[in-house]
Amino acid sequence: MADQAVTLATATSASNGIKIAVLSAEVAAQTGFTHAFRVPFDIINTSTWTTQGDTVTVTLGTTPARYQVDRVAVNIPTAFATTGTLTLSVGTSSNTALALAAASCKSDTQLTAAAGCVTANKVEGTSAATLQCRFTTQSATGAPSDITAGVAEIFLRIIDVAALI
């Protein structure tokens, strides 16, 4: 099994479904989220990634130097279609499931941490971190190349602690 890497900002998508956005102050005040990332299936199903059980780690972006990520939610408006199971987790490069533990993304649903939109573990640091999501295929049935549909919309509240005062 291998981990395949994709950077959302430079990935190409035939569906043009990629989105990286800092949400407006009005939306942030209303929803509690500051950033949105849309990950379409066609950036994680490269035809050469055929090994069952492989993971695909998508780099979403980088936090400020002093940061907290204290809210996370994932909307799956289009279920991911593939053979076997497929899970999605959200975190940092040092722990890709720190903000949201692995959960199935094969149905049209919303994924949140155990305590709702509050992250299961505190995600904070005093040096910038790489934010990532990870898709994990089933070890006996399924590979990234088998994914034929799906969209994940990831919402985070990223706080620049140094800019609070």
How much of the chain, in percent, has pLDDT values that exceed 70?
97
Write out the residue range of the structural domain in which residue 111 sits.
3-163
Chain centroid offset of residue 84 CA: 20
pLDDT value of position 120 = 66
CATH of the domain at 152: 2.60.120
Residue 19 · residue 38 · CB < 8 Å: yes
How much of the chain, in percent, has pLDDT values that exceed 90?
76
| pLDDT for 1 beyond 70 | no
Question: What value does the mean pLDDT take over residues 38-58?
Answer: 93
Buried b (16+ CB within 10 A) or exposed e, 100-116: bbbbebbeeeebbbeee
Question: What value does the mean pLDDT take over residues 149-159?
Answer: 96
Question: What value does the mean pLDDT take over residues 71-98?
Answer: 93
pLDDT in tens, 55-74: 999 999 999 999 999 999 99
* Max CA distance (Å), the chain: 52
- In 3D space, the residue among 67, 86, 77, 72 whose CA is nearest the CA of residue 115 turns out to be 72
Per the confidence metrics, is the pTM higher than 0.75? Answer: yes
Number of domains in the chain: 1
- CA–CA gap between residue 71 and residue 113 (Å, rounded): 9
- CA–CA gap between residue 128 and residue 41 (Å, rounded): 28
